[in-house]
Structure 1
Amino acid sequence: MNETNNKRAILIIEDDVPLARSISNLLKTQEIYDPYIAENGSIGIQKTFELIPDLILCDIGMCDIDGYQVFKILKESSITSMIPFIFLTGKSELDEIRLGLQLGADDYIVKPFQNDELLISIKTRLAKYDQFVNLSKQNFQALVNISPNAIFILNERGFIEINPGFSEILGYSRNEIEGKMLSDIVTEADRSRITNELTKCFKGIEGAVTTNAKILKKNNDVIDVGIFLQKGTTIKGKPNIIGVMKEKTQAISSSGAALNEEEVRNELYKIAEYISENQNDVSAELVNQLKAVYHSYSQASRQGDQNQIGLSKREKEVLLLSCEGLPIKQIADQLFISDRTVEKHRANLMVKTGSRNIVEVIIYAIKNNIIEI
């Protein structure tokens, strides 16, 4: 969804430009869609990772990368695998339709089609997707409701979700806390530090943060808390932070022992699984498919400066291992550095390449022949 106008973003991957524009104009008349056009499969893949659209319309019979290849690549990535996908084709053979549906496409529309047919399909697929998102929210809510800890989700505008434990410990209802930042409820002495740590987490400089602070309860009492923050992204790719807060004086586990950091971290990671896309890791299979798609770009740039963006030796090593499908933990072990250091290098790679996630970094590296993979 486009955050500036609340319209649903629809990506049209179609090499028949007049048809793509016709579909785009049709969607604009509905006033609830924000259409984007990609003129071939490779551009479509890249735009998908840039936009994270609400739905994709994709032609099958394109010249460079056909629709089936586009679909397989996007389904390989956890960032894009859940986006509703509708095939457009000029073929009406039963085998073609069956193949598309067997791959896992949400619908299959034969050209030429009626406008109403396309609009109904889009509306239906988005409704099913919304049901899935709502179910995920219910699963999240069920998990956090039973926790005695203060659990919350923040975006860059403030708190968007809290659990009953948060209200119990701090006294705020959801309506009272919504839109406030974590820095708004800490004491003045801690405010600058907490703001800085949140900024690092949002930007991906720190994937996880462990800190302490004095928090102002609703009744203005001050309590000491331990705070654990984990960067995550919702299913729509919007940056969020998931947090667990524990009052130090109440830090008692079910066994009667002091609740240690590892226990709270484990709870935080369980929560993060429900609302994050696990976008930090990229499978080797996905990298191989991206290499095949962008091979021609790499060949064209092979004579250029392979390090024009100024990557350090360590950044190149992290990028290469990421391209091999290694998760952060294995990269850290192989390079004899910490997980946090790997996260910092990957954050630097995103900044230097102008990318929003590690898949975009890999596409950039392949297209510009940054490393040999």
Structure 2
Amino acid sequence: MKTEKKHLLIISSQKNLIADLKEGLSLQFIVHTVNSLHSGYSTALKLLPDIILIDQTSLNLKSLKNLGNFRSTHFLKKSHLIIYGEALERSLIEERFNDLVDQIFYTSISTNCLCDELLELVTKDRTLTNYWKDAFLGLFNIMENPVVLLQQENIIAMNDAFRHSFKVQQTEGLKLTDFVHCENKIKVKTSLRNFSRGKHMQANTKTSLRLSNGKIREAKISFSKLDRMIDGQLIMMIHYSEKFKLSDQVGSTSDLVEKCFEENSIHTTFNFSKREKEIIMLLCKGYKTKDISETLFISPKTIEKHRANIIKRTNSETILESIIYAINHDLINVKVT
């Protein structure tokens, strides 16, 4: 079974040590390297690695004076902090750093043994990856808001509220861009990519989302990084205000849709052809497809095409909803006889 690689940050200037660790751990780890504690701290905040290995043998003890910063930073508390130290300086290292790190290994063990020790650590489920994911997924399905887990624009998982709101079940092949207008797809992709690469942990925006039935809903969207060490993996939560809350009523409360309605009511003849108006009028009188076919002398197949166009133009789900929409917006003149 394929498992997700963990992230290891090595702070060292020893090329041989780095090469040996990469060779021994490449199947289980994505290995990152820096050559100073200062750059190591900045890199650790960006990556949130599972394990941070500080090679004391290539750094003087004075340069490790700020080692405590790794433990005092909230996002790094679950990273496993290790010192690889010179065996001859064991007493001094333990005296200074024993309380600041999780573990200390010395040059008295081979790099192969060091690799084995690191591999054993990530099999104990102590890693940052599991910590953040478990914390989030434990609350995932009980959230009232629609929530999805994203890998760039791809939807990896969705909670029950999202399934209900958007009338979808399967995540396979589903993308966030499936729920936005065509003209916004590139903008959404670019925004997600920039956010995942940026330093901010959270971002908020307002947008219009298209449900699987063609309806449009406006909402406030919150993006949060679940784990910086996994490129592009984000949480997206949808917040519906009372104004935009989903309901079972016909039509939509979206400002975008209402604007479309207003434009349609101004350009009545443009939106409904003469034939479409005739079909709508006969439908209002209770005519079936066969009856309309005989009355207008057109084939049932042609009538079905007109019905489909009417539903599409009114952003409706059924022909009944289209008729209600047309009446409410004065797009047809229904005479009561």
TM-score by length of 2: 0.56
Question: CA, structure 1 residues 86+113, in 2 after alignment: closer, same or farther (shift >3 Å)?
Answer: same
Match of 2:292 in 1: none
Aligned residues of 1:27 and 1:35 also touching (Cα < 8 A): yes
Matched, 1:12 2:13: no
> Offset at 1:146?
1.8
Q: Per the alignment, in what secondary structure is the counterpart of residue 184 of structure 1?
A: helix
Q: What code does the residue aligned with 2:56 have?
A: I
Query: Is 1:232 aligned to residue 225 of structure 2?
Result: yes
For structure 1, list consecutive stretches of 5 or more residues without a partner in the other structure.
253-373
Contact 1:106 1:125 in 2 (8 A): no
Number of residues paired by the alignment?
A: 241
1:184 to 174, 178, 199: 178
Aligned CA distance change for structure 1 residues 162 and 58 (closer, same or farther; 3 Å) = same
Shift of 1:251: 7.1
**Alpha-carbon distance, 1:165 to partner:** 0.9
TM-score, normalised relative to structure 1: 0.52
Residue correspondence of structure 1 range 184-203 to structure 2 within 5 A: 184-188=178-182, 191=185, 194=188, 198=192, 201-202=195-196
CA distance in 2, matches of 1:132, 1:140: 12
Q: 1:186/1:73 Cα in 2 relative to 1: closer, same or farther (>3 Å)?
A: same
Aligned equivalents of 2:159 and 2:209: distance in 1?
A: 20
Name the residue aligned to 2:168. 172
SS at match of 2:98: helix
Matching of residues 192-341 of structure 1 within 5 Å: 194=188, 198=192, 201-202=195-196, 208-217=203-212, 220-236=213-229, 238-245=231-238, 248-250=244-246
CA distance in 1, matches of 2:86, 2:193: 49
Residue identity matched to 2:81? F
User: How many Å apart are 1:111 and its aligned residue?
Assistant: 1.5
Counterpart code for 1:155: Q
- In angstroms, what is the RMSD of aligned CA positions? 3.9
8 A Cα contact 2:152 2:192, kept in partner: no
- Displacement of 1:70 in angstroms is 5.1
Matching residue's letter, 1:10: L
- Does the aligned pair in 2 maintain the 1:213–1:226 contact within 8 Å? yes
What fraction of aligned residue pairs are identical, expressed as a percent?
A: 17
Q: Is the 8 A contact 2:132 2:227 kept in 1?
A: no
- Choose which of 97, 104, 107 in structure 1 pairs with 2:103: 107
For 1:350-370, what per-residue CA distance to the aligned partner results, in whole angstroms no more than 9, with x for missing partners?
A: xxxxxxxxxxxxxxxxxxxxx
Instruction: State how far apart, in whole Å, the 1-side matches of 2:36 and 2:199 are.
Output: 34
Q: Distance in 2 between matches of 1:137 and 1:91?
A: 37
Q: Offset at 1:40?
A: 4.0
User: Which segments of structure 1 move beyond 6 Å, counting only runs of 4 or more?
Assistant: none
The residue correspondences of 1:17-56 to structure 2 (distance < 5 A) are 17=14, 20-32=15-27, 33-49=29-45, 52-56=48-52
Alignment correspondent of 2:317: none
Q: CA offset at residue 145 of structure 1?
A: 1.7
Q: In 2 relative to 1, CA 151–41 (structure 1 residues): closer, same or farther, beyond 3 Å?
A: closer
Please tell me the residue identity of whatever aligns with 1:139. Answer: A
Code of the residue aligned with 2:203 in structure 1: it is A
Q: Which runs of 5+ in 2 are unaligned?
A: 249-337
- Shift of the alpha carbon at 1:76? 3.6
Report the equivalent of 2:283.
none
Alignment match, 1:291? none
Q: What is the distance in 2 between the residues matched to 1:234 and 1:244?
A: 16
Give the aligned partner of residue 298 of structure 2: none
2:149 corresponds to 1:153:
yes
Q: Which amino acid aligns with 2:229?
A: K
Distance 1:200 1:229 in 2: 15
Q: 1:120 pairs with 116, 123, 133, which one? A: 116
SS at match of 1:124: helix
Following superposition, the deviation at residue 150 of structure 1 comes to: 0.9
Alignment check: 8 A CA contact 1:24 1:36 kept:
no
SS in 1 for 2:236: strand
Shift of 1:107: 1.4
Contact 1:41 1:65 in 2 (8 A): no
Look up the equivalent residue of 2:130 and give its one-letter code. N
SS at match of 2:67: helix
- Could you tell me whether the CA contact under 8 Å between 1:40 and 1:64 is conserved in 2? no
User: CA 1:128–1:70 in 2, change beyond 3 Å: closer, same or farther?
Assistant: farther
User: In 2, distance between residues paired with 1:40 and 1:189?
Assistant: 46
Q: Which amino acid aligns with 1:229?
A: S
**Alignment partners' CA distance in 1, 2:36 and 2:237:** 44
> Comparing both chains, which one has the higher relative contact order based on Cα–Cα distances under 8 Å and sequence gaps of 6 or more?
1
Asked if structure 2 preserves the Cα contact closer than 8 Å seen for 1:185 and 1:216, the reply is yes
CA pair 48-172 structure 1, distance change in 2 beyond 3 A = same
Give 1:109 deviation, angstroms. 0.8
Q: 1:81 to 1:229 in 2, by over 3 A?
A: same
Which of the pair has more CA radius of gyration?
A: 2
